[in-house]
Amino acid sequence: MQVVSEERLGQVLGALPGVPRVVTGGNFATPWQALAVLDAAVSDYRLFALNGQPGMPDREGVTLESAFVGPGMRGRERLMYYPCRLSLVPVLLSRTLPPDIVLVQTSVPHGGTVSLGTEVNILPAAIEAARARGGLVVAQVNPRVPVTYGDAVLSTEAIGYAIETDVPLASPSPRPVPEACASIGDRVAALVPDGATLQLGIGAVPDAVLAALTSRRGLMVWSEMFSDGVLTLDKAGALDPGHPITASFAFGSAELYDWMDRNQKIRMLRTETTNDPAMIALQPQMVSVNSALEVDLFAQANASRVHGIIYSGFGGQTDFVVGALHSAGGRAIIALPSWHPKADVSTVVPRIAGPVTSFQHSFFVSEQGTAAVWGHDSSSQAEQIITQIAHPGVRDELRAAGRELGFRV
């Protein structure tokens, strides 16, 4: 690893031939300074990131690529969305979208290694794919990055160039939990027994679920990501001290990052492991809790598109739904409010109009109630979705539409 100035790094990147594909850390671990150097030095390139946050380059010459669209890429004219399960994104990068440059943010070197800190995810696979074709790995070294273990540990020999920075890690803006989400959290928590293994996605509903689980004991975490809710469980004594918290990326408050630093209870693994449905199925009483934009009477969930336009993507939802259903005592739960306040529409529709993100779940949960889905015939599923999940104001029209679709409701 050669530590250079930003000016020198710009010269190296600007001398690269063609239109390179760049993979950068996403979520809240983007190496913004390194990305800015690249953007100033390279006129035309492709930029691949998962859940990219505001600030992603948006100009002529930059083609954005993602398998999970974040607010920094959402709605962009030059966005290319690749539908892909999170567990298979490493395969996508090795076979279809091979990177020429990988930008990562790391801890300071120690003993010939650095740590990827809060974001492991697809980065080890991207680094391997880039190095296999003679590509370049660039690190933004930051003493604020917590040292984490597992697949987060990266040899400095894998890094070509590095720049030194000292900037606080980004955190999501605090948000109040809506009353409907708090109610959903309580209902979902009632489905989580002591000793369960947890996976929760991103958003107000998963946060509310974790807040409602502080009285449980012996909980374990096997998830693609976690945030401050897991720290809350740890403080409450709800987690099994004999099992590491296993995840692939994390984001949250400065307190969370401090807690993660050199914490032997946390194991950060690459996506191919955390999101492998076979590995998920091995976790005891695996409870997968994810949100959706809408569900329908066929017990299908859409977490990807709004009015046919890509909003996010599959993420790891499909991986964990399948894995949880195969786990001993496992449950796959989709939790969502019955009404979308901004759009002022029901989140339960007769039939999802666009592509389906996931299907065959164990339960649907809204603030209205809980619908048991798995193991029931299709008409019983539809009836429960109408009476337990949908807003009362749309139940009659859903029932009428359900009959037209062939359900006995």
Strand order in the sheet with 149-150: 149-150, 266-268, 245-247
> What Cα–Cα distance (Å) separates residue 329 from each residue in 142, 270, 326?
42, 25, 8
Burial of 6 (0-12, 13-18, 19+ CB in 10 A): middle
The CATH 3.40.1080.10 domain(s) of the chain lie at 2-164
- Residues 231-250 have pLDDT tens digits of 999 999 999 999 999 999 99
Instruction: Tell me, yes or no, if 157 is annotated catalytic.
Output: no
Confidence at 205, pLDDT banded by 50, 70, 90: confident
Looking at the chain, the domain(s) classified CATH 3.40.1080.20 span 179-404
Q: Choosing from 119, 224, 294, 367, which is the catalytic residue?
A: 224
CA distances from 276 to 223, 322, 339 (A): 11, 10, 33
Hey, how many other C-beta atoms are within 10 angstroms of the C-beta on 19?
A: 13
Planar angle of CA 231, 233, 239, nearest 5 degrees = 110
Q: Evaluate whether the domain defined by 2-164 bears CATH number 3.50.50.60.
A: no
Cβ-Cβ contacts under 8 Å for 337 (sequence gap 6 or more): 178, 180, 181, 184, 205, 347, 366, 367
How big is the CA angle at 99 (ends 95 and 102), to the nearest 5 degrees? 140
**Residues 210, 340: Cα–Cα separation, whole Å:** 22
Q: What is the CA radius of gyration of the chain?
A: 22
Query: What is the arithmetic mean of pLDDT over 87-93?
Result: 97
Give the tens place of pLDDT for each residue, 100-153.
999 999 999 999 999 999 999 999 999 999 999 999 999 999 999 999 999 999
> How large a percentage of the chain has pLDDT more than 70?
100
Q: Is the pLDDT of residue 202 over 90?
A: no
By residue count, the chain amounts to: 409
Residue by residue, what is the 3-state secondary structure of 18-30?
Answer: CCCEEEECCCCCC
- Would you say 26 and 70 are in contact if contact means Cβ atoms under 8 Å apart? yes
179-404: CATH class: alpha beta
pLDDT digits (tens, 9 = 90+) for 17-66: 999 999 999 999 999 999 999 999 999 999 999 999 999 999 999 999 99
Q: Is the pLDDT of residue 201 over 80?
A: no
